[in-house]
Amino acid sequence: MMSNSASPVVTGWAARFRCAIKGVDVAVCSQDSMRIQLAAAAGATLLGLALKLSTSEWCAVVLAITVVLASEALNTSIELVVDLVSPEYHAIAGRAKDVAAGAVLIAASGAAAVGLIVFGPHLWTRLHG
């Protein structure tokens, strides 16, 4: 069965899961910013392991990482759709991309705040014993 856009209708949970994995792959392989965010997430994870974070601290860190990565993926999606429907420059298309990028900035700022709150006391204690 084909939809109006001539793309196949995806049925079944396994097929939908494969599409989701393909979407993550597109975001990671096509966006430098996503790879930077993944590197930051890996760094935060390694630091958390070294500092032996508590369960509640891990919950905050994992949630912050997830929100940033999800917002990066949504930003990529919005950019791709805007480029499709407006291949030539258009001020409103540019504003849509800017708003999507702003959402990533908001998420990353929140994650940085979580990082300061969670990692800060641990690092302060280690530095000033």
Q: Residues with catalytic annotation?
A: 72
Query: Between 55-85 and 32-51, two packed helices, what is the crossing angle to 10 degrees?
Result: 180
Instruction: Give the span between the Cα atoms of 88 and 99, in whole angstroms.
Output: 18
Start-end of H helices in 1-129: 13-30, 32-51, 55-85, 91-128
User: In a 3-state reduction of DSSP, which class is residue 102?
Assistant: helix
